[in-house]
């Protein structure tokens, strides 16, 4: 198993290097969407990959303590991958630029030295109280966890409340996990289907039935299931595939936006400021980030949806430019969906709105 885990990490490194030398996701964006500004959080995710690519060469040493891979060409710094009883570890020797990767019981974890930036596929884990990806999958009934944790958070609200002076209790979440984008060619080499789940868990050294394994299983299931009536859905396992899906639905002249907050927040009260503006027609593509070791986005083309940019200010002074999506036709949603239980309305009666977390992206025609 130790050698198998090393092989997985080493092969990911080789493919990353090859992809980086050819056409990176960032260059792909610029080549096919030259007039589309990249949302801040996507830039940050691409930086994770860029940081990892700073190391250029690799040597392998097998010793008593396991397998050691060093990338440094004899110079200070470089990358070391050690496989021992504790799992797989990766460490860069550059002073002040340390990066370590550990593969253990919880998956692939990536702290990243003083920079604090993760750079490799990371652990899957239950997040804090926040809008979970499945609340944006409208065929599902609310779970007991959602009803308990999300009821006090303004995940859903009515369109009439989008006006200056409205106060809501919110938790805007930053992209804090280590799930970075993989280049498309690398993502294609990794299985992503329910029938391959045992192989997937083996790749990430996860035990069937563990919390992490169940989260990954649910993510794949969401991606494989049919959407609600009139919904076109797709799970993008790379930035390139997200771009291609969006272009196939909206054309080449598109904009991409996401929620931006000037600092990390906790659960607190936010007040809507003046300047609420509608930014898109009824047709758009919304991509929600899933909980997975590398970046996977649940994308769906939505119709009869109005998008707004909403300036807000928190009780502690936090400023946000939140993206709100208001669905004008909810008749096909599950009658027991969280939105209806929180707002006390019925499907198809009134527009239902929600804010998008920082690591979700909305695409619409320019």
Q: What is the pLDDT of residues 289-329, one digit of tens each?
A: 998 999 999 999 988 889 999 999 999 999 999 999 999 98
The average pLDDT across 173-185 equals 75
| Residue 146: predicted pLDDT | 63
- Name, in order, each residue with C-beta under 8 angstroms of 81's C-beta and a sequence gap of 6 or more: 6, 9, 10, 67, 68, 69, 88, 89, 90, 101
Q: Where are the alpha helices (DSSP H) in the chain?
A: 2-22, 25-32, 40-52, 144-149, 184-187, 197-203, 211-224, 239-250, 338-343
**C-alpha span between 132 and 288 (Å, rounded):** 10
Q: Identify the pLDDT of residue 51.
A: 60
Q: How sure is the predictor about 118, in pLDDT bands with cuts at 50, 70 and 90?
A: very low
Question: In the structure, what pLDDT confidence band is assigned to residue 50 with cuts at 50, 70 and 90?
Answer: low
Cβ(51)–Cβ(112) below 8 Å: yes
Nearest of 204, 227, 181, 224 to residue 27 by alpha carbon: 181
- Res 277 pLDDT > 50: yes
Measured CA angle at 268 (ends 264, 271), to 5 deg: 100
Residue 106, pLDDT above cutoff 70:
no
Whether residue 128 is predicted with pLDDT greater than 70 in this model: the reply is: no
Tell me: the pLDDT tens digits for 57-90?
333 333 334 333 344 444 444 433 333 333 333 3
Q: For strands 268-272 and 305-314, give the pairing.
A: antiparallel
Residue 62 CA to residue 300 CA, distance in Å, equals 47
Say if residues 254 and 36 touch (Cβ distance below 8 Å): yes
With b for 16 or more beta-carbon neighbours within 10 A and e for fewer, the 183-221 pattern comes to bbebbeebebeeeebeebbbbbbbeeeeebbebbbebbe
Kindly tell me if the per-residue pLDDT of 107 is higher than 70: no
What integer pLDDT is reported at residue 234 of this predicted model? 96
Identify the band that residue 352 occupies on the pLDDT scale cut at 50, 70 and 90. Answer: very high
- Span 182-240, pLDDT tens digits: 999 999 999 999 999 999 999 999 999 999 999 999 999 999 988 877 788 999 999 99
pLDDT for the residue 338: 84
Confidence of residue 26 (pLDDT cuts 50, 70, 90): very high
Q: Could you tell me the strand order of the sheet in which 232-236 lies?
A: 232-236, 297-302, 284-289, 361-365, 254-257
Which pLDDT does position 159 carry in this prediction? 94
């Amino acid at each position: 198993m130790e050698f198998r885990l090393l092989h997985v990490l080493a092969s990911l490194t080789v493919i990353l290097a090859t992809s980086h030398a050819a056409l990176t996701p960032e260059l792909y964006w610029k080549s096919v969407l030259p007039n589309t500004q990249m949302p801040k959080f996507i830039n940050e995710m691409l930086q994770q990959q860029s940081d990892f690519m700073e190391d250029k060469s690799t040597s392998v040493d097998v010793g008593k303590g396991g397998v050691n891979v060093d990338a440094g060409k004899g110079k200070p710094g470089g990358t070391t991958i050690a496989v021992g009883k504790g799992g797989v570890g990766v460490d860069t020797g550059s002073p002040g630029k340390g990066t370590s990767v550990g593969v253990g019981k919880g998956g692939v974890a990536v702290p990243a030295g003083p920079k604090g930036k993760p750079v490799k596929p990371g652990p899957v884990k239950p997040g804090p109280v926040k809008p979970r990806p499945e609340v944006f999958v409208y065929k599902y009934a609310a779970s007991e966890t959602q009803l308990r944790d999300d009821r006090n958070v303004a995940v859903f609200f009515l369109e009439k409340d989008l006006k200056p002076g409205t106060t809501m209790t919110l938790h805007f979440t930053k992209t804090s996990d280590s799930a970075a984008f993989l280049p498309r060619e690398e993502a294609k080499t990794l299985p992503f289907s329910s029938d391959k789940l045992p192989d997937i868990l083996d790749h990430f050294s996860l035990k069937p039935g563990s919390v992490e394994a169940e989260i990954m299983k649910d993510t794949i299931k969401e991606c494989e299931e049919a959407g609600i009536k009139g919904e076109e859905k797709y799970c993008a396992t790379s930035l390139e595939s997200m771009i291609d899906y969006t272009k196939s639905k909206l054309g080449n002249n598109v904009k991409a936006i996401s929620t931006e907050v000037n600092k990390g927040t906790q659960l607190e009260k936010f007040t809507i400021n003046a300047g609420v503006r509608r930014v898109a027609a009824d047709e758009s593509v919304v991509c929600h980030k899933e909980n997975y070791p590398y970046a996977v986005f649940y994308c769906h083309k939505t119709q009869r949806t109005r998008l707004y940019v909403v300036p807000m200010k928190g009780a502690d002074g936090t400023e946000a430019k939140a993206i709100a999506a208001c669905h004008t036709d909810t008749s096909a949603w599950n009658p027991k969906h969280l939105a209806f239980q929180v707002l006390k309305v019925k499907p198809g009666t009134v527009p239902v709105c929600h804010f998008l977390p920082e690591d979700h992206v909305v695409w619409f025609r320019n």
